[in-house]
Structure 1
């Protein structure tokens, strides 16, 4: 991989992922000291604009509960929780802005340092960044498609019934009772048009809320895995039997790199642990509710397709953090094996051998992601979430 003339190929986090910066900025998810006040004010405005929808959904839930309409009750709860979670994540970026900013600043420092690495190291960096971008693209596509299916299906049904049937009718983006309005009043102009556009705005808030914060977590996790891989790459050159002073300097650098990895892991847990606990709860409940909507539908419709995609999104929402956490744990576990294979036992200097043994012992401790010391994120937890969601589904179906 040839270097550019100025020797710089890796830019800052903002520039590296510039294709996603717009979504992060519009979604008010990216902590920036220069825009903190404006971002906080913008979030408050968005939340206030969402309040009418919260009230409408609460009123509809009350009506469904009184009528014992479990199917539609679940449908309203699904949207209510999704909207609440999107707003909550936005405010988490304010509450944890210092921690998140430290994470992003440390990544920027690493990117600057990557430009001075040998070419084979830079290939590893570029490969990791490309994988990170690919996963980000997949997640944005899933969220955007799921969000877009709600207004898209409503528009298509409106066009179809007005152009190809003898009984034209209107379809809401999300069917619900609007306070004391009768169905005739809800579907009459201009109430229908205003509420349809308002629902489109709510959909946009949910899509942006689910894209920025989650996307940045995947970028950070890939970066953590990359730092571990760079350590393993450095271990190939750590021992120089002809120059013990150089060997000691190499070991000292790797020890610093190990400390940076653990510090970054701790910062990630501190900045994202509330979110991790929330997505665990959300994924279990939302997946079960989405499946209940799908299985209760007797025939395929726009609403059924919407909830199929919603169920896929809920599954991906918990799968990606579990997969990335497991990937980091698996990668970190290889460090001790690589260290042991460096032929350190042939070194006569006892201080070097002692340092190597210390590094091996440190690397043998599993690097796990345990949110709030309660929930360990790995693929085993993903399977547990799916099993719990299925158990909840059976309860909702009874």
Structure 2
């Protein structure tokens, strides 16, 4: 018989997310805080060193504005906006490093405890962890890599094909950018073309790392909250099957876990509150501008079609996770009511169950900016608003 794997700490269980957070220098490890501060300062120096490139982008956008060239303005903003958002995540994670570390410590604490539980609870944990590893980690990483790396891969493929099979090859940039106050064709001459091409490959890698780590961490955190709910509901059922003298103590233990779960959700809310608000606004604009570029741009562009698909998935997943948590929290009231409390005559236990049910009937929501609840209704609303903005742009 194959030996079951033991439950391990956060960084050992979710290695891909840990790697992405570490490479992006946003892993909340107190021992590396001084290095993360140095890295942020180093990043500021790097951004300052590419100020001529950033200035060229804004100058080009200004020229496009004067020429009523909305297509190129949207093209620039679609690519530059998310990259700057990745740098903002670095600052935001440093600001919320204590809360993020507490989330990881809580996940590690629970995982290690699962090793001493019975097989019934281990199966609940395995199913939840497998779901997180499959969707919040692996498939999310594949989605980000596919959406982002389409730009450099297509540019490399087109350059290779043109230089191999054409006598007068055409050069393709990852993101086309005109040099200010120069001829348009100068951007395809050496060494400008090669230097910018390599730099944009680096930007793509940084984009991938930031979005895999930070956004994936949110999904893992929500899924673990759902595991905690299933665990204490199962523990309550078993408590009522115990000896009469043990029931009260075991129910109190379940209540402590329930309170711990609510504190854990508050940590998630505090850690990702600002980020959820930013992606709500940014993704709505992103979907709108990508659709406009695809339909009104210079011919069909597969890269932006894939990119808009990624943007939809990017806002769908937080809404889906938050909706899952909301539904699960409401289901726990039914599970607690059906746990078998009527078989116990101890009035203390019955009063505790009333309070447990009343607490679970209060809807658990993950909000953006502390006021905008994330759920599937919000996802539909975002798509409708994006389409309304898109039709306004077209008119």
TM-score normalised per structure 1: 0.94
- Once the two structures are superposed, residues 247-305 of structure 1 have per-residue CA deviations (whole angstroms, 9 ceiling, x without a partner) of 101110111111011101100010110001011011100011111111124643xxx11
Q: Which residue of 2 aligns with 1:305?
A: 302
Retained in 1: the 8 A contact 2:17–2:212? no
Partner of 1:29: 26
Superposed CA deviations along residues 157-184 of structure 1, whole A, max 9, x for unmatched, are 1122222234322111101123334223
Q: Which residue of 1 aligns with 2:208?
A: 207
How many aligned positions are there? 391
Contact 2:21-2:210 at 8 Å conserved across structures: no
Seen in structure 2, the aligned counterparts of structure 1 residues 145 and 242 have a Cα distance that, compared at 3 Å, is closer
Q: Tell me how far 1:111 sits from its aligned partner.
A: 1.1
1:119-130 superposed matches below 5 A: 119-130=119-130
Structure 1 unaligned residues grouped into runs of 5+? none
Partner of 1:68: 68
- Paired residue for 1:259? 259
Cα displacement (A) at 1:83: 1.4
Runs of 4+ in 1 over 6 A off after TM superposition: none
**RMSD value, Cα:** 1.7
Q: Secondary structure at the match of 1:160?
A: helix
In the TM superposition, residue 77 of structure 1 has moved relative to its aligned partner by: 1.1
Question: Please, what TM-score do these two structures have when normalized by structure 2?
Answer: 0.94
Residue 143 in 1 paired to residue 112 in 2?
no
CA distance in 2, matches of 1:64, 1:335: 55
Alignment correspondent of 1:102: 102
Higher mean C-alpha displacement, 39-48 vs 330-339: 39-48
2: CA distance between counterparts of 1:346 and 1:108?
35
Which blocks of at least 5 consecutive residues in structure 2 are unaligned?
none
Between 1:328-337 and 1:346-355, the stretch displaced more is 346-355
Alpha-carbon distance between aligned partners in 2 of 1:36 and 1:225, rounded to the nearest angstrom: 31
Q: 1:393 corresponds to which residue?
A: 390
| Range with bigger deviation, 40-49 or 127-136 | 40-49
Matches within 5 A, 1:34-53: 34-51=31-48, 52=50, 53=53
Where does 1:293-372 land on structure 2 (aligned, <5 Å)? 293-297=293-297, 299-300=299-300, 304-372=301-369
- Separation in 2, partners of 1:340, 1:95: 41
